[in-house]
Structures are given as C-alpha cells and as structure tokens.
A and B are shown apart, each in its own frame.
Chain A
C-alpha cells in the first residue's frame, strides 16, 4: 500500500516542491524517509488498534500536485453557513487555501489568517518556527505522509495580547470530478495573552471518493485562550485522517471540540500537552453514526506541569452497522502535582449491529492528583420509551428525543451561542434522517 505513495514522491518530488514554499520543502525529504521506514501502521500499533489505515489509503486517488484551481468560487455559492453568527470566513478547497473575500472584515492589527504560500513570501520564519515542531514525522505515518505531500496550509497567527472578537470560520470544501486525495495543514499560533475562536468544518460536495489527511499544530502561549470547534459533515465516500497536536503554556486554556455529524470513515487523533503550570484543556466530542460509518477518536492528554486541569467528554450515538472507537489516555507525569482531570466516554447504541470500542486510560506518576475516568455503553431504556409512548409520543419520535437528550450536553460545551443553536438544529435533523438530503447542496448526500 505504501509503494504507490513512495513512487509518487520519487516521481513527482520536483513538481511538489515547485508549487510549495521553501519552508515546507525543507522538511519533505526527512518526512519521506520516515514514511518509508514507518509504513502504514498495522492494528498492532497501540494508537491505531481500531482503524485499518492501509485499506483506506489503498485506492488510487488523484492528487492535485500542479495546484490547478477549481473554477467555482465558494464565496459565491456556499450557503450552508451558521445563521446569526458573524464570522471572518475563509475557504480551503481541497488543500488549497483561498484568499479571503474582498468583503471580509478586517482582522485586528497583526493577526494573520492566510495561506502558507502567501505568508512565506514575506515572513517565512513565522511558519518555520512552528511547522512540524509538534507533529513529528518520525513516529506517525500520517504526519510523515502529510508532510511529504502537502504543498500549502493555513496559518492562524494571533500576536501577543491580541483578542480576536469575531470568530474565524474555516470551511474545508472537497470538490472533484475524480477520486481525490487532499493533504491539509493548519498552524494555529497564539502568543502570550492572545485569544481567538475558530470554527472549522469539513464538507464533501461531489460524489466521488475523497481521502483527506489533515495535520493541525496548535501553540497556545501563556495566558492565551483558544476555542477550536471542528465539525465534519461529509458523505459516506469520504475518508478523513486528522491529527491534531496542541501545546499549552502556563495559564493557557483551550477548548477543543470535535463533532462528527455525517461521514464515511474518520480517524481523529488529538494529542494535547499541558506544558505550563495552571493550563487548562477541555476536549469534547460528539459522534453520530449509522449505516456503515466509521469514527475512531484517539486522544492523549499529557499533564507535564503542575496545577493543570483537563476535562474530556466524548459521546457517541450509534445506529445501523456503525463501528466506532474511543481511546483516550490521560498521562500525569512525575511532578505534575495537583492535576485535576476527568475523562468520560458515554455511548448509546440503537441497533444490535452497532459497535463501540471504548478504552479510557489513566496513567499517573504523581501522588497529589484528582483524576477519574470512565465509560458507559447503553441502549435506550424500555421503561423510558414505554412511558413516553403511553403519553402518546410515537416510538420513533421518543427514540429521537432521547438520542437528542443524550447528545445535548456535548453541545452545551459550545460557547458560541449561534453555533450551538445551529448544531442543535443539525443534530435534530440528523436524528430525523434528514441530514442525508440537505437542500441546496449535495454535501450531506449519503
């Protein structure tokens, strides 16, 4: 399986480099060597136990190495936005970062939301200082593959003590007439005291097979504050491999939400390092899957400093023949005293053919900590369903109300009110089975 990617790189290295900034090319060969050495992880590799990686990468996808532009301007046609939420809107089509719209509101001074290619022309050091520093290519084949193939990326840079009031929305749109692989890269840098809220959503607009790799590196400086909401609403022919790495300095806080509303196969990895004393991380996830959808969330929260807090809540509502996994480790290192950490994974299974593999883990090397972890797997209660039916609520409606209630507390963690309202609406639609035929665009088609 690896061979086709090795061949592509050997044959197309020049083309890849020609259409990419030097800062990305500088680490490409190392990533290639790492990829050759690592190969795709088998299920014997602990963090890939629940996903057949090689199988997903086996088909022959096209790559847009020449960086040809997709002709439609998404700023004109894309309507599926969040009502009442005024955002600075950016589009990434496949793995090309489009320039901001001319009507885009101006960002506070010094704030950059732009493509690597454009930033690298003037200030390459802004990228080279951070690029690949958290997402090491030596240990993870997805990082290595992404780093060797990716030609552009999105930089979100917020300088010291700058607060970006208006949320930034990044819409990843997959468009193609042939099966396509996209390799996206995101770099989020918050300097000391900076603050920003980011909403990233994934859509697949054409009915071909898509495979996307995405590597996100997040640097949250001292006292900085980040909210990052990731939402996937693609189709069953979509495969997503996303690795997110975050490092929080002292007194920094980050909320990282991951919501899979509709997909094909999804593998999300999130590694969060609490590097400075008093940092705080909240990881929340919601997965709604049925048919033969696959979602594998794999997280690591690494407490390296004292007085840090982490909270993790992942909920899955599964039906049909969905097979999903949650594996989350909390690692409290020696010296990370007074750590407070809580990890919960709760799962609701609506069909006998739905599967969840759940693995909450806690590894503690400090003695003055307060940590707990747990997971539950359950079905809708017969007594509850009967109570509702006795009041006249039809069985299907009762099921839907209960599923929605189950998912609701993850949505409560969203601090952006219009986004939360929108998700309430979308989740409701999803449970009613209406999200597979979204009006106006084909993004949700099953």
Chain B
C-alpha cells in the first residue's frame, strides 16, 4: 500500500527526516515510536503533504502512485487520512458543512455523484455512534469549544465518514483520559478491514495495547533505527529508548 524510500525532509531549512524507509502492506497496523523531536510528526505531515515541510530527497509510492506529486486534497481523495495531534478549530464552519464539502469533493474526484442531503445526514448519524459523538457536537462549528477528548473523537468520526485506505494517527492518545482512550481505540478498531492500513504514532504503550500493531518501528534522529514485533513496544515502555541509542 505505502512505500517510503530514503525520505529526507526539512522544515524552515532544518533537516528533520534523514532517510526514512518504510513499507506498509494492506491490512497492517504499524506503530512508530520515538523520542520528542525524532521526526515522528514530520513523517506524518510529509505523507499527507503539509506545505510547511519540504521533501529534499526520496519518494513515497501509494498504491502505485507518486504521492509527492499530489496536492494534499488529492492525497486525501486517494485514501490517506491524518488524525491530527492538535485538531484545528474552525469558527463559523459547521461540522455538517465541513463534512459535506469533504465527502462530496472526494466523490467528485472519484467520479461519483454528490450524496443527497438525506443520505448524508443518515451517514453522519450512523458514523457518529462509532465514537459516541454527541449530536450537539456535530451541529456546532468544527472543533470549536470541543474538549481535548471530544476533538480526538471527532477525528475518528471524520475518519469513519471518509473511509480512508491508510490512516495515520498522530499521538491520538495525548490528552485523553482512560475512558476516552478506550472509545477512540475501539472506534478505530471497528473500522479496520483487511484492506485498510494504519500508522500509529505514539509515545506510549497504552494506546498500542488496544490497537495491537503488527509491526513496531523506532524513529530516532530522523531515521528508523529499529523494527520489531509488538514486543518491541513493551520493551520500550519498560526500558526507554537509551538502550536502542547505545546499540547504534
């Protein structure tokens, strides 16, 4: 599904990614762990095409397409979704209008007719249940006045609406209490299929206990330095990252 080769990226001229290689196959969940500033968020931003970052070398192939040649919205239409670490508040734009614009843009890209108002609202109702999102929230402006937990739930709700092929969860666990974490994680799990994949970026084991990744990577100083099974996450939780750094 996703093939990242020798990816180098900078922000404001500073090199953050220094040659990342990563392959994600259909149905796999990958975890990316690492210290603060290691480049985890940069990696997710580069995959979705945040214009603040500049790719200086390497390539990303997504289902056979050169991802770096696509605009952010086209990458979204191709099926890439990022659950933001800090979802943006958009005063004055209702969740309904926002979601309708997003969904219909994707349908247009895929050559499908826009969804009727009735079908759209039905879909909203259905998907809301997955993350137990209150109908009051979906009638408000995007993320405006939402609590930290509500914002993260709203991200998974949007994911459910857009049905991406590859989801990237960027520290979706940060700022969540135990109950909210469970709701978000269970929501995410219920959306998993054999054809969908995910990259989960986190500092902690906690979220991974729910999501059960197939493969765990350690990203340090802009490179993936270690890859292993789910046990690697447990080991990091117990021993930290220093032993990995020392082994380099």
Q: Name B50's contact: one of A386, A393, A404 (CB within 8 Å).
A: A386
What 1/0 flags go to B61-87 for Cβ under 8 Å of A? 000000000011101110001101001
- Whether A405 lies near B76 (C-beta < 8 A) is no
Task: Determine the chain B residues whose CB is within 8 A of the CB of A65 once the complex forms.
Answer: none
Report the bound CA distance from A190 to B60 in whole Å: 70
A390-B98 contact in complex given A384-B88, A404-B92, A405-B92, C-beta closer than 8 Å? no
- Whether A401 lies near B98 (C-beta < 8 A) is yes
Query: For the complex, would chain A's binding face be called helix, strand, loop or mixed by DSSP majority?
Result: helix
- Whether B76 lies near A397 (C-beta < 8 A) is no
- Whether B52 lies near A391 (C-beta < 8 A) is no
Task: Determine the chain B residues whose CB is within 8 A of the CB of A408 once the complex forms.
Answer: 92
A389 on interface, CB distance cutoff 8 Å? yes
Task: Determine the chain B residues whose CB is within 8 A of the CB of A72 once the complex forms.
Answer: none
A85 on interface, CB distance cutoff 8 Å? no
Report the bound CA distance from A409 to B162 in whole Å: 29
Stretch at the interface among B6-14, B101-109, B199-207: B101-109
- Whether A388 lies near B90 (C-beta < 8 A) is yes
- Whether B90 lies near A391 (C-beta < 8 A) is no
Beta-carbon nearest neighbor of A384 in chain B: B88
Q: Which of A309-361 contact B (CB under 8 A)?
A: none
- Whether B105 lies near A383 (C-beta < 8 A) is no
Q: Which of A264-297 contact B (CB under 8 A)?
A: none
Task: Determine the chain A residues whose CB is within 8 A of the CB of B73 once the complex forms.
Answer: 389-390, 392-395
Chain B nearest Cβ from A317, distance in angstroms = 12
A388-B98 contact in complex given A394-B73, A394-B105, A402-B93, C-beta closer than 8 Å? yes
B97 on interface, CB distance cutoff 8 Å? yes
Report the bound CA distance from A384 to B91 in whole Å: 10
B197 on interface, CB distance cutoff 8 Å? no
Chain B nearest Cβ from A218, distance in angstroms = 31
Task: Determine the chain A residues whose CB is within 8 A of the CB of B109 once the complex forms.
Answer: 392
Report the bound CA distance from A392 to B48 in whole Å: 11
Would you list 16 pairs from A and B whose C-beta atoms are within 8 A, ordered by A residue? A382-B52, A384-B90, A386-B51, A389-B73, A390-B49, A390-B72, A390-B73, A390-B76, A390-B82, A391-B98, A392-B109, A393-B101, A401-B93, A402-B90, A405-B91, A409-B92
Which residues of A pack against B, CB within 8 Å?
A: 381-384, 386-395, 397, 401-402, 404-406, 408-409
Which residues of B pack against A, CB within 8 Å?
A: 48-52, 71-73, 75-77, 81-82, 84, 87-88, 90-93, 97-98, 101-103, 105-106, 109, 141, 158, 162
Other CB < 8 Å A-B pairs besides A392-B102, A393-B73, 7 of them? A386-B72, A388-B102, A390-B50, A390-B73, A397-B105, A402-B93, A405-B141
